Amino acid sequence: ADSEIIDQIRAATDLAALDALRVAVLGKSGSITAQLKSLGGMSPDERASEAPRIHALREAVTTALAERKDALENAELEQKLATEFVDLSLPAPERASGSVHPVSQVMDELAEIFADMGFSVAEGPEIEEQWFNFTALNMPEAHPARAMQDTFYARRIDGDAAAEAHVLRTHTSPVQIRAMTSQAPPLRLIAPGRVYRSDSDATHTPMFHQIEGLVIDKGITLGHLKWTLETFLKAFFERDDVVLRMRPSYFPFTEPSAEVDVGWSLEKGRRVVGGCEGWMEVLGSGMVHPKVIANCGLDPEEWQGFAFGTGVDRLAMLKYGMSDLRAFFDGDLRWLRHYGFRA
Ligand code: PHE
């Protein structure tokens, strides 16, 4: 009967049958397991003669099982190698790949345009001290201009009631202050980044993107500002007939101040063209207020400059013809596939 077990193992035709055999002999209630258990009830003499046989059998069965398993697995592999093959002439399956978000794309375009004009890139924190976001920008406490921007205030968790709350920066202008207080002029920089205001509709989202521009040097005039904005907007919209309109405006940190509109036309796919049907406000700008320059420890008699701030998302909408700003941040794959840029 012992050799019969071995024969059965050698004859097993697949791995499942082989495993069933293993369980039948070596499992908890397998035949060899039962024989091993019976050793306990034998007389010493009987055990002395039976034990070697049973152990040898278990040894032989274990070896036979392993050999057969190897053989069956090899056969299975041979079978696969013989029947499965890769057809290299078939087209490769399409791979899902991401795309560059339009905001990132426009940020990159802007950084490149300004790099060509000699501007470097500066950064600042999104959770900002009020001094940088407001006070140094000529918006002292209780100044009505602070209410112009619907500010998110960050609650302090360190229990320091006397310390001022931080804010989510409402614009990129605090980076002007950070630059002027940490670098020696002349300065020529842009500061791209996220800004936050408590506001939400088709053209406003609580988080949006701005790019700030700052030039501080000697003898800087409004003419330099106008040339810079014209050059940048023509490069950005990739056409020479972009029309600009500078409207007198008010910002506490610039004097004089101007808001800049670009003309747009519906016929030409909502791109900015010469014969325009409407105006779209794209940026705020002006000559840096002497008080702001003084707040940063510079002498306004010696240093002048201009600054501007523009909404990146809005520029993207204008250039690529998107209508709802909220779609930028919905993460809808159909929208992203439509407007996203191949990496
Ligand atoms: N910080 C202003 C805003 O967010 C824009 C601006 C920047 C205006 C620089 C003038 C100069 O509305």
Let me know: does 191 contact 121? Beta carbons within 8 Å: yes
Q: Whose CA is nearest to atom 9 of ligand 1?
A: 308
Let me know: does 176 contact 212? Beta carbons within 8 Å: yes
Distance CA 5, CA 17 (A): 13
Helices (H), the chain: 2-11, 15-26, 31-38, 44-83, 102-116, 130-133, 174-182, 222-237, 290-295, 312-320, 333-339
Please report the atom of ligand 1 found closest to the CA of residue 176: 9
Distance CA 59, CA 246 (A): 95
How close is the Cα of 234 to the center of ligand 1, in Å? 20
Please report the atom of ligand 1 found closest to the CA of residue 171: 4
Lowest average pLDDT, out of 89-93, 110-114, 212-216, 217-221, goes to 89-93
* pLDDT for position 249: 96
- 312 pLDDT above the threshold of 70: yes
* pLDDT for position 93: 86
How close is the Cα of 148 to the center of ligand 1, in Å? 12
Under the banding of pLDDT at 50, 70 and 90, the label for residue 201 is: confident
Let me know: does 25 contact 32? Beta carbons within 8 Å: yes
Distance CA 33, CA 19 (A): 16
With the most atoms of ligand 1 within 8 angstroms of its CB, the residue from 172, 173, 216, 313 to mutate is 173
What angle do helix axes 2-11 and 44-83 make, rounded to 10 degrees?
10
Q: Whose CA is nearest to atom 7 of ligand 1?
A: 309
Length in residues, the chain? 343
- 255 pLDDT above the threshold of 80: yes
How close is the Cα of 151 to the center of ligand 1, in Å? 15
Does residue 171 have its Cβ closer than 6 Å to ligand 1? yes
pLDDT tens digits for range 145-200: 777 678 898 877 777 766 778 999 999 999 999 999 999 999 999 999 999 998 87
Does residue 211 have its Cβ closer than 6 Å to ligand 1? no
Let me know: does 288 contact 250? Beta carbons within 8 Å: no
Does residue 305 have its Cβ closer than 6 Å to ligand 1? no
For 287, the enclosing helix (H) or strand (E) is strand 278-288
- 227 pLDDT above the threshold of 70: yes
**Residue showing tokens 């560059």:** 100
Q: What is the CA radius of gyration of the chain?
A: 38
Does residue 173 have its Cβ closer than 6 Å to ligand 1? yes
123 annotated binding-site participant = no
Lowest average pLDDT, out of 81-90, 189-198, 220-229, 252-261, goes to 81-90
With the most atoms of ligand 1 within 8 angstroms of its CB, the residue from 197, 251, 288, 312 to mutate is 251
* pLDDT for position 106: 93
* pLDDT for position 264: 65
Distance CA 147, CA 162 (A): 22
pLDDT tens digits for range 262-288: 876 555 555 555 555 678 889 999 999
Q: What is the mean pLDDT of residues 92-105?
A: 87
Distance CA 324, CA 147 (A): 26
Q: What angle do CA 308, 311, 316 make, to 5 degrees?
A: 130
- Residue 222 phi, psi (nearest 5): -60, -30
Please report the atom of ligand 1 found closest to the CA of residue 173: 1
Residue-averaged pLDDT of the chain: 89
pLDDT tens digits for range 61-80: 999 999 999 999 999 999 99
Q: What percent of the chain has pLDDT over 70?
A: 94
More confident residue, 141 or 287: 287
Q: What is the mean pLDDT of residues 255-259?
A: 97
What angle do helix axes 102-116 and 312-320 make, rounded to 10 degrees?
100
Does residue 307 have its Cβ closer than 6 Å to ligand 1? yes
How close is the Cα of 87 to the center of ligand 1, in Å? 60
